[in-house]
Copies of this chain bind each other. A is one copy, B any other.
Amino acid sequence: MKRRHFVGGLAAAAGVAACSSDSADCGAGAASAERFEWSAVTSWPPRYPGMGMAIYNVAEQVERASAGRLKIKVYAAGELVPAFEVFDAVSRGTVEVGHDASYYHKGKVDAAQFFTAIPFGLNNAEMNGWLYYGGGLELWRELYDPHDLVPFPCGNTGVQMGGWFNREINSVDDLKGLKMRIPGLGGEVLRRAGGTPVTLPGSEIFTSLQTGAIDATEWVGPYNDLAFGLQKAARYYYYPGWQEPGPTLECVINKDAWASLPDDLKAIVDIACKAVNGDVAAEYTNGNINALEQLANDPSVELRAFPPEVLDYLESIADEVIAELVENDPASAKIYESFKAFKDKSTLNQRISEQAFLNTRD
């Protein structure tokens, strides 16, 4: 696949030369007529609600804001490259853009996991504070630079749900032998708690849960879970999603492709990703409240809180898992130092603001 399609030559020949008319604005600031046609690949089904819509929205806004000078054609998972191969495809320059979750790169770039979510980590507001103002995004860019990728935060699901269970979780003993679809660090925490984490693609979850091949699954939250029909395959809907308290999604751009953009198109891509970062969260907030209303009124569903001692136990294991990750990987150590310092300071602030306010709702 050609990395870029230059239509600029033609346009230049036709006399697009803003500098000649207004010398005060010449140079880097002047709009270039060069046109770009990019491709984007994702790990999501086509136009999947919430997370999957992010890159379509980026593409649409970039095209409008650039008057068509930068067009991004979106390919859903499997249409051009398989899900979970987004990182490599964009890194190699097969395509210019990817939309994904950074924790899928575990094994390749372990430290990337901090930029989506870690168990008992940061919520959506905290992730944004850390990434945009607390040094997180600089660390992310530094981590991806050797892979020729420029990452942008681009969507957040908010606190996820703990998942759908066909077994009650009344104590830590109930985790023993639990066969659950739960990927990544959360899965490793479950394994150490005596459970059996399994990895399944989205398409196989429903049947596996319904047939009893697995006892439980986490997916996202009410908005995506209801659409998946998971309430028809399990009775207990547990909260909160300790494994993913505020997962950030990523838009990655190939470094050479990024460097080829004039400044104005770089600015357009940058603000479009920032806009969509918040937009996805807003879509989830609205989608979740409507889906939850349905689920809460479904007599076959029991909404349950994990017992505090189960959460405490899982958190203590999560601390161990993260400590090992940090011990074995210098990049993770550097990033976690920043992440952890932010979280430690943030906890009191969250307590006196969001938590104290939400407590007035009881």
Binding site for B on A (CB under 8 A): 7, 10-11, 13-18, 20-22, 25, 29-33, 35, 61, 63-69, 120, 123-126, 128-134, 158-161, 221-222, 239-242, 245, 262-264, 267-268, 270-272, 274-275, 277-279, 281-290, 292-293, 296, 303, 305, 311, 315, 342, 345-362
B159 touching A353 by the CB < 8 A rule?
yes
B128 touching A278 by the CB < 8 A rule?
yes
A222–B352 alpha-carbon span in the complex (Å): 11
B17 touching A14 by the CB < 8 A rule?
yes
A241: contacting residue among B63, B123, B125, B357, CB under 8 A: B357
A282 touching B132 by the CB < 8 A rule?
yes
Q: List 21 A–B pairs whose Cβ atoms lie within 8 Å, in order of A's numbering.
A: A11-B18, A25-B68, A29-B63, A30-B67, A31-B33, A64-B267, A125-B125, A125-B158, A133-B287, A134-B286, A240-B353, A241-B353, A242-B357, A271-B272, A271-B275, A289-B342, A289-B346, A289-B348, A290-B345, A303-B352, A351-B358
Residues of the B chain whose Cβ atoms lie less than 8 Å from the Cβ of A7: 21-22
A123: contacting residue among B13, B61, B346, B354, CB under 8 A: B354
Nearest B-chain residue to A263, judged by Cβ: B64
A120: contacting residue among B159, B274, B360, CB under 8 A: B360
A357 touching B245 by the CB < 8 A rule?
yes
Residues of the B chain whose Cβ atoms lie less than 8 Å from the Cβ of A354: 123, 158-159, 354-355, 358
A64 touching B279 by the CB < 8 A rule?
no
**Which of A161, A311, A348 has most B Cβ within 10 Å?**
A348
B130 touching A357 by the CB < 8 A rule?
no
Would you give the shortest CB distance from A195 to chain B, in whole angstroms?
19
Residues of the B chain whose Cβ atoms lie less than 8 Å from the Cβ of A352: 161, 239-240, 292, 303, 305
Residues of the B chain whose Cβ atoms lie less than 8 Å from the Cβ of A69: 31
Nearest B-chain residue to A315, judged by Cβ: B360
Rank and list the top 6 A-B pairs by shortest CB-CB distance, nearest first.
A129-B285, A15-B15, A133-B286, A274-B275, A14-B21, A278-B278
Residues of the B chain whose Cβ atoms lie less than 8 Å from the Cβ of A311: 360
A133–B222 alpha-carbon span in the complex (Å): 16
- Known contacts A16-B15, A66-B264; is A282 also within 8 Å of B128 by CB? yes
* Known A125-B281, A158-B353; 13 more pairs at CB < 8 Å: A65-B268, A133-B283, A133-B286, A159-B354, A159-B356, A239-B356, A278-B278, A286-B342, A292-B349, A292-B352, A311-B360, A347-B361, A354-B358
Would you give the shortest CB distance from A154 to chain B, in whole angstroms?
12
Nearest B-chain residue to A264, judged by Cβ: B67
B31 touching A129 by the CB < 8 A rule?
no
A357 touching B31 by the CB < 8 A rule?
no
Nearest B-chain residue to A360, judged by Cβ: B311
A212–B68 alpha-carbon span in the complex (Å): 61
Would you give the shortest CB distance from A121 to chain B, in whole angstroms?
10
A341–B311 alpha-carbon span in the complex (Å): 32
